[in-house]
Structure 1
Amino acid sequence: MWKTVKKLDGVILFVLLLLMIMSVVAVYSGTRFDPKLDSHHVKTIYFYIAGFIAVIGIGLINYKLYVKYALLLYGIGILFLFLANVLGSKVNNANGWLKISESISFQPAELFKMILILFLAHLIVKRKRGELGFWRDVVPIGCWTFVPFALVMAQNDLGNALGYVVILVAVLWIGNIKLKHAIIGVTIIGAVLIGFIKSYTFYHEEVFTFLEKIKREHWAERIDPWLVPEKATAKAMWHTKNAGLAIGSGGITGKGFLEGTSVQSGRVPYTYSDSIFVVIAEEFGFVGASLLILLYFILIHRMVLIALGCKDRAGPIIIVGIIGMLLYQVFENVGAFLGLMPLTGITLPFISYGGTSLLINMACIGLVMSIKLYGDEDEDELLPEEQGPSLMQRIWSLVTQGKGKSHDVS
């Protein structure tokens, strides 16, 4: 077993260790002024210890086993999402947290990211090589993704719901979608996005009234500072405005650890979770923020190398899905405070405080480690019982054979 553990990617483990240090330091700085949060940095250490155990534990198990039983995992994940809709408690306007005890709770929407990646890989590797057919492959895969998307949207969690869409796009891309379908998809997404922006800015009052009726007015408070800052309320601008000022005041080297005036005064909310990038940028400046981005780059680079060295299709699909998930979270979180994206409440991977988010991200790295260990095995060993024709293909074969027999008799 020890020989197997030594084969794990040491660079990735070292990067995770550095991210842990940055996370603990930033969480401590972002919670020091609030006595109710003064133990969050200690909890982050505990979460990371559990996360490293998950990396090693999941990494030692052949990832093909996870792919084989992905349908079962999908069903369990959907059940958790449904329970979160019915029994979940509300945190920051999102009604998607299941309480295990008074002090322990988890967010099924975060867990389902990893499940969705495994399940989409399961669907793609079941078919033979070649480009994905639109009606045969793309549409069914999209429908499977729409189910959790709708459940999470019902929880009022736009950030995680959009994450599912990003995972879908990444998996379809690596799954060999046809170029014309990809162009059509990009065109539709672009047209919808442009149409949304134009409609939102032109019919802002009507949209805001509608959101108030469906009790989603906080969506406008997050979108207004991004699209129409001149029409945004002072409450809506408070978060992004103060965050932007804090980031800008950090300069090249920052104000110093525990010296961030905006962070330590509490002018920036959620500095331990959604706004933790502001803590790093104000107190450690451009240098600290650049170091964080560099660590993300190294992590993703190592994952790409592992994907390139994998012999079967499931491994690269899983890794690209994980990369898409992480890139979306990083770009959305950082971009929201730079005016590039709306504020959706997405956590910064491996840095923000949060047990569920961190453990799921670490578990995904465990999958990457498993691919490194077992990705050199032949693809035929993946799902041998499912490599045959599908039910619809067998029915179509019977129909065509029946036509051929009737022709011969005549």
Structure 2
Amino acid sequence: MLKKMDGVILFVMLLLMIISVFAIYSGTQTDANLVNHHVKTMYFYVAGFIAVLVIGLVNYKLYVKYAFYLYGLGIILLILANVLGSSINNANGWLKLGENFSFQPAELFKMILILFLAHLIVKRQRGTLKFWRDIVPIGCWAFIPFALVMAQNDLGNALGYVVILAAVFWIGNMRLKHALIALAIVGVAFFGFVKAYTFYHDEVFTFLEKIKREHWAERIDPWLVPEKATSKASWHTKNAGLAIGSGGIIGKGYLQGTSVQSGRVPYTYSDSIFVVIAEEFGFVGASVLILLYFILIHRMVLIALACRDRAGPVIIVGIIGMLLYQVFENVGAFLGLMPLTGITLPFISYGGTSLLINMACIGVVMSIKLYGQEEEDELLMGEQQPRLSERLWNMLKKEKSAV
């Protein structure tokens, strides 16, 4: 079974680990409080590769079958994070386990949501999804964690749930007219938001201050209205953009990034780690990283195409949507394409919870590679195997008929 796992994906993960460890070391060497973060990342990666092997060897259809219970557990963890969670970088959804370890249930719920949505899609009959019978109920199930995470002041992960839902609807055979209506609504809402925010900026900022969400404006202002952004709000993205541009084609050299090493760019070990790669390795280094993401997603698409049941492709497309959103949001925030939301760069940024969950998702992909050639069976369709007594009785009846 181990030999049947996708060797290309494992090799890409190994390369991403090397890039992550070296980039985190470069981004933390000038801060004594962060000096061991690259070593911790190596430990997290070892645990992640173990998770890939263990999760990959278990039939993914079991995860889909019991996804409802995982969903319930995830909701409980999100509620606990809302009530008992601590705050890190304005997000209140961290649960502490002891003095040195904490994790973010919102990250864990990404994987749970993908499995649960696959469970719901498979339970539906074949054919296109009906609006009131399928789309609305499934959307309501996804809205519950979205609301809980928004209450934690974590806009980045909450939007990730929306992207996962959209990806699952697409692969779940959503009707074209429903998709077009949804795109039209999103487009109108987006442009309406942009116009309203720019025209009523002062009123919006006052309102956000009242509800203690003024940091949202500090992240949106440099993106939409840079002329109105305060120096504090634009400090991060402005210096990050200058650092990326100064990297040129081949970069300034490892550990030679002036903006990174001088501390002008904050969070270079987590949210801003792409800036480290772009400044020290230039356009070439950043392109190699994007190419590795492309290869990873391409291999996942091939596994989805070879899968013979419905749950496998739904899960893989959900994972692809999750990863693409994180990459585009993280990189785009420093290129002026997206607002800064604090989303980590998958497999590269420091963060045990994010890395382990992403590696666990790769483990599920490996399971689909191993077991996706099997026909869809009662494990997914909800049919139960006959009880032992029933099977024995059927055997006796066959013997009597033969006699």
Q: CA deviation at 1:386?
A: 5.1
1:330 equivalent in structure 2:
327
User: Which residue does the alignment assign to 1:340?
Assistant: 337
Q: What does 1:27-46 correspond to in 2, within 5 Å?
A: 27-46=24-43
1:105 matched to 2:102? The reply is yes
Task: Give the whole-Å Cα distance in 2 for the aligned partners of 1:384 and 1:225.
Answer: 49
Code of the residue aligned with 1:107 in structure 2: it is: Q
Residue 56 (structure 1) shift: 0.5
2:390 equivalent in structure 1: none
Does the CA-based 8 Å contact 1:111-1:356 persist in structure 2?
Answer: yes
- For residues 250 and 234 of structure 1, the distance between their equivalents in structure 2, rounded to whole angstroms, comes to 23
Secondary structure of the residue that 2:382 maps to in structure 1?
Answer: helix
Distance in structure 2 (CA, Å) of the matches to 1:331 and 1:382 = 36
- From 22, 26, 29, the counterpart of 1:25: 22
Alpha-carbon distance in 2 for matches of 1:127, 1:378 = 17
CA distance in 2, matches of 1:92, 1:163: 18
Counterpart CA distance in 2 for 1:185 and 1:18 is 38
> What residue is the counterpart of 2:112 in the other structure?
115
1:300 partner letter:
I
Counterpart among 186, 189, 194 of residue 189 in structure 1: 186
Q: Unpaired segments of 5 or more residues in structure 2?
A: 385-403
Alignment-derived partner of residue 176 in structure 1? 173
2:122–2:381 Cα contact (<8 Å) kept: no
- State how far apart, in whole Å, the 1-side matches of 2:282 and 2:42 are: 24
Shift of 1:14: 0.1
**Which runs of 4 or more aligned residues in structure 1 lie more than 4 Å from their structure 2 counterparts after TM superposition?**
none
Once the two structures are aligned, what percentage of the paired residues are identical?
83
* 1:60-99 CA distance string (max 9 Å, x none): 0000000000000000000000000000000000000000
- SS of 2:94's partner is strand
Q: Does 1:213 align with 2:210?
A: yes
The 2-side partners of 1:119 and 1:21 are apart by 33
What's the secondary structure of 1:181's corresponding residue?
Answer: helix
- 2:226 counterpart of 1:229: yes
Equivalences for 1:106-185 in 2 at 5 Å? Answer: 106-185=103-182
State the TM-score, normalized to the length of structure 2. Answer: 0.95
Q: What residue identity is the alignment partner of 1:171?
A: V
Q: Is 2:65–2:382's contact at 8 Å kept on the other side of the alignment?
A: no
With normalisation by structure 1, the TM-score equals 0.93
1:385, distance to aligned residue in structure 2 (A): 2.9
1:84: which partner in 2? 81
> Corresponding residue for 1:67?
64
1:266 aligns with 2:227: no
Q: Which of 232, 238, 241 is the equivalent residue of 1:241?
A: 238
Matched to 1:229, the amino acid is P
Could you give the per-residue CA deviations for residues 3-25 of structure 1, whole angstroms, max 9, x where no partner exists? x1111000000000000000000
1:198 is matched with: 195
Aligned to 2:282: 285
1: distance between equivalents of 2:191 and 2:319? 28
Structure 1 Cα separation of the partners of residues 15 and 121 of structure 2: 35
8 Å CA contact 1:307, 1:316 repeated in 2? yes
Q: Distance in 2 between matches of 1:37 and 1:386?
A: 52
Counterpart CA distance in 2 for 1:10 and 1:181 is 39
Offset at residue 380 of structure 1 (A): 2.7
CA distance in 2, matches of 1:350, 1:120: 24
2:215 maps to amino acid: H
Distance (whole Å) between structure 1 residues aligned to residue 125 and residue 179 of structure 2: 20
Structure 2 match to 1:294: 291
Whole-angstrom distance in 1 between the partners of 2:123 and 2:201: 46
Name the SS of the counterpart of 2:95 in structure 1: strand
How much does 1:348 deviate? 0.1
| Structure 1 residue 128 displacement after superposition | 1.5
Find the counterpart in structure 2 of residue 314 from structure 1. 311
Cα deviations by residue, 1:346-404 (Å, 9 ceiling, x for unpaired): 000000000000000000000000000000111134324359xxxxxxxxxxxxxxxxx
Instruction: Determine the structure 2 residue equivalent to 1:377.
Output: 374
Contact kept in structure 1, 2:29 and 2:35, CA below 8 Å: yes
Distance (whole Å) between structure 1 residues aligned to residue 177 and residue 145 of structure 2: 27
Q: Which residue type is aligned with residue 99 of structure 1?
A: K
Q: Which residue of the partner structure matches residue 11 of structure 1?
A: 8
Match of 1:376, SS?
coil
SS across alignment from 1:151: helix
Q: Which amino acid aligns with 2:53?
A: I
The 8 Å contact of residues 126 and 386 in structure 1, kept in 2 or not, is answered as no
Residues in 2 aligned to 1:58 and 1:303: alpha-carbon distance in whole angstroms: 16
Q: Name 1:368's counterpart in structure 2.
A: 365
1:291 corresponds to which letter in structure 2?
V
Task: Give, in whole Å, the separation in 1 of the partners of 2:181 and 2:366.
Answer: 35
The Cα shift of 1:234 comes to: 0.2
Cα deviation digits, residues 101-158 of structure 1 (max 9, x gap)? 1100100000000000000000010112100000000000100000000000000000
Amino acid paired to 2:179: A
Opposite residue 266 of structure 1, the aligned amino acid is G
Instruction: Render the CA deviation track for 1:231-270: whole Å, top value 9, x for unaligned.
Output: 0000001000000000000000000000000000000000
Q: Does 1:357 align with 2:360?
A: no
